[in-house]
Amino acid sequence: MKPEFASYPSLQGKNILITGGGSGIGAEMVRQFTKQNANVWFIDRNRTVSQSIEAETGATFIELDLADTAELTRVIELYVVQNNGFDVLINNAARDDRHDWRSIDGDYWDERFSTNLKHQFFCIQAVAPGMIEKYGGSIVNIGSNSWWEAGAGFPAYATAKSGVHGLTRTMARELGEFNIRVNTIVPGWIMTDRQKELWVTKEALEKQLDRQCLGVEIEPVYVARMAVFLASDDASMCTASNFMVDGGSI
């Protein structure tokens, strides 16, 4: 049974930017923030799924490839100016494609870092000046427990995701003097449609649930609700920290 989810009045009317909001955890974040009566913009490169989420929630879809750093910076800075800045940034976009360490070359390594880490910094760089002007904001980076668990099958992904935690810690220090909080959410194995289609098997799921202290499947809504909490005034003294949403699997 799902808990009764709290509402956060401090998010009403706030400007929220979410990356990778067209599907999976990101789409659920768009849903949960719009339920708080926040103004939500979300970035994705998949027009088809994103237009569906846009129609469902009333959020604003920004079509953008986050790997294009110059365009990322230009577009976000444009929206910052148009909307008097963002109050919350959720750096969610990522892809956990499986790969064999024996077959990785330099180009693939760089692509994995671009997809899973690089854009998080440049999104922060683009939104932070507006938050500084407001003297406040919340930035939430999505990490992964894959490297905490010493998981195999995606070494470039796991290494990039470990870097998210370093990014969070250093930017929390850089931006703390401006009352801007920076935190990391650490999801476990979240049962998104993509995970179910590509990697969830009966045997793998049983092994995962046995590993967790809470032996139930973790749905995207639980990660999204952690993001809502960290964005709210209830988390005003939370920064430079990791918030695990993994059912106690580490």
194: how many CB neighbours lie within 10 A of its CB? 15
Within its chain, how far is the Cα of 200 from the centroid?
Answer: 21
Indicate the SS3 state at residue 15.
strand
Quick one: which of 132, 140, 176, 189 has its CA closest to 33? Answer: 140
Q: Are 78 and 19 in contact (CB under 8 A)?
A: no
Active site residue 157: yes
Catalytic residue among 8, 79, 157, 222: 157
Using DSSP bridges, classify how beta strands 60-63 and 88-91 pair: parallel, antiparallel or unpaired.
Answer: unpaired
CA 192 – CA 198 distance, rounded (Å) = 10
Active site residues: 157
